[in-house]
Chains A and B, each alone.
Chain A
Amino acid sequence: MSFLSIRNLSARLKGRSDQILRHVSLEVAAGEVRGLVGESGAGKSMIGKAILGTLPHSVEISGGEIILDGIDLLTLPSAKRRQLIGAKCALIPQDPLTALNPSRRIGPQITNRLVDILGWSRSDAEARARALLAEVQIQDTERVMRSYPHELSGGMRQRILIASAFAAEPKLIIADEPTTALDVTVQKQILKLIAALQARHGTALLFVTHDLGVVSKVCQSLSVLYAGLVLEDSTIPDFFHAPKHPYSRALLAATPKYTDPDGSLTPVPDAIIETTRAEVAAFDRSAHV
């Protein structure tokens, strides 16, 4: 039994027939790291938002199930659902610059959830926050806890967000392109940090990204998404040795090679985009969406 299991999840723009997710199914086992890849607009982030209940107002879920630890989130009343998600899930957001409340100090932003949801005492929560900050290799924890977000660098803020995501010992963390907003040298450190904490805490991780290089390093399995449709679902070794879908193959071929830094980049061929689009259209006809 997977910890998270999404079945036939569909979402669309409210009041319109534009599909954003098309019968998406995917599983994340306890402690597993699953990559979710696709180009911009493929619906990767929407899946994460659907799980966490933070979809934009303009998007509605039109069908399917999101089963978290045996409970279908979509049938729960919203207060119950919030409670369940708060206790079991966390988010490492894409942009560390907007993910911390600018008008509050760092300390309370980490500890509040421990106090609110888990009912910890404030001093326990603070001790926990300090330990976690140390775990993400922040030295001057006292000063950082007293700082406002704008006083810290982007990489520092992303570390804080990682610490904060792991703070309540969630069973599932959704990492929504956690390194996209950072520069390359910092990216590498942050990835290492996420991988290390994931391994130490045994947390399941849904890793949303468009970077196959990152996926190959961090994940155990992955789902490839195009226009809200899951094209491929395989383990990492299978995917990198023998991708099943032509689009996946093209995506893999398009990844720049470090061994050939002067080689030109290979775009995904138009013909493959055409056939993939046709596949999406055929799916829409057969599913009557």
Chain B
Amino acid sequence: MLDARSTIKRRLPLRLILSAGWLGLLTLAAVFAPLIAPKDPLAQDLFLGQLPPFWLQGHEPGYLLGTDSLGRDVLSRILYGSRLALTVALIAGSITCIVGAAMGLLAGFLRGWVDVVISRAIDIWMAFPPVLFSILLIAVLGPGLSSIIIAIVVIDWTRFARVIRAEAMTQGAMDYVASAQIAGRTRLSTMLTEILPNVLPTIVVLLTLEMGISIIVEAILSFVNLSISTDDPTWGGMISEGRTSIHQAWWVLVFPLITLFLTVLSFSQLGEGLKDRFDPVLR
């Protein structure tokens, strides 16, 4: 009576390959940026300002994606910018995930006063406009990598907590949870061994989405000049600088924007792809 589904071999979905591929390339770029970047990302040369990318008239060899108004190589700056973007995505995404999922699990499974406290906190949190809230936080904490990470965690934990709470409530009402309780498990051990594995696919999807969102938040903060020190290249900072010269040199704005877009898209597609693959019920 084994189900036929389990015997059908599933092909690796295309979106999983493409998104993982892009993120893999980006990771390599971030790690090896000093080796592969064609130019120094900070080197200015006003004689080489606003050079177009390689396929347009007037380009200069060695500057594949052109230069910005100060003559800095766009490609090199994107490569270096991926370091901050990925660092923020990994660290802020993971911490947010752990904090938010833990809150959601506790609220959704233990219910009672724990749920009341966490749920009210979520309601209050959600009432703040997130972008303003993050700008406010950075203003208080001062710019810097750790401030960005703290701001993202403080703002975005509710995203996990809300969804995981609902999932934990659904799972908690299932008979298998009651069975575990009858079998003498403590509440905490039931939560970790019975509920957690069943909300894990959702957590993975949310985590990848959150990594994308972290990158966007970082870009927004860089855009308003509240990220890390202004010298280091960031995608948000490049977009901000490119905005002022969009009519003369569109490439300064467009290339970091495309990179940002592809990266965020890849994170969300990676999450969906992983969910399809690892959810035992969907598999």
Contact = CB atoms under 8 A, between A and B. Distances in A.
Interface of A: 49, 52-54, 57, 79, 82-83, 85-87, 89-91, 93-95, 98-104, 109, 112-113, 116-117, 143, 147-148, 150-153, 156, 164
Contacts of A93: 175, 178-179
B1 A153 contact: yes
A98 B174 contact: yes
Nearest to B189: A116
B176 A86 contact: no
A82 B184 contact: yes
A45 to B, nearest CB: 11
A98 B2 contact: no
Contacts of A104: 197
A5 B50 CA distance: 88
9 contacts: A79-B186, A91-B178, A94-B175, A103-B197, A104-B197, A116-B185, A150-B3, A150-B280, A151-B5
B148 to A, nearest CB: 35
Given A100-B176, A151-B3, A85 B197 contact: no
Interface in B56-97: none
A113 B184 contact: yes
Contacts of B183: 86, 112-113, 116-117
Given A54-B182, A82-B181, A102 B281 contact: yes
B200 A103 contact: yes
Nearest to A157: B1
A91 B185 contact: no
Contacts of B180: 101
A3 B28 CA distance: 68
B241 interface: no
Interface string B164-205: 000000000011101111111110000000100110100000
Which 8 A-B residue pairs are closest in the complex by CB-CB distance?
A86-B184, A99-B175, A113-B183, A93-B175, A103-B197, A54-B178, A98-B174, A101-B176
Contacts of A99: 174-176, 179
B112 interface: yes
Given A49-B178, A93-B179, 18 more contacts: A53-B181, A57-B112, A82-B181, A90-B182, A91-B175, A94-B175, A98-B175, A98-B176, A99-B175, A100-B176, A103-B197, A113-B184, A116-B183, A116-B184, A116-B185, A150-B280, A150-B281, A152-B1
Nearest to A150: B281
A164 B174 CA distance: 17
Contacts of A150: 3, 280-281
Contacts of B179: 91, 93, 99, 164
Contacts of A112: 183
Contacts, number: 81
Size class of the B contact interface (CB-based, 8 Å): 20 to 34
B112 to A, nearest CB: 7
B258 to A, nearest CB: 38
Nearest to A170: B182
B184 A102 contact: no
A85 B184 CA distance: 7
B111 interface: yes
A153 B1 CA distance: 7
A241 B185 CA distance: 44
Interface in B108-143: 111-112
Contacts of A152: 1-3
B23 to A, nearest CB: 26
A243 B14 CA distance: 68
B2 A57 contact: no
Among B2, B183, B197: residue with most chain A CB under 10 A: B183
Contacts of B175: 91, 93-95, 98-99
A85 B179 CA distance: 11
Contacts of B3: 150-152
A164 B280 CA distance: 22
Interface string B239-268: 000000000000000000000000000000
A151 B2 contact: yes
Contacts of A113: 183-184
B1 A54 contact: no
A54 B179 CA distance: 9
A164 B194 CA distance: 16
Contacts of A54: 178, 181-182
Contacts of A57: 111-112
Nearest to A86: B184
A98 B2 CA distance: 18
Given A94-B175, A113-B183, A116-B183, A101 B194 contact: yes
Contacts of A164: 179
Nearest to B201: A103
A86 B2 contact: no
B135 to A, nearest CB: 40
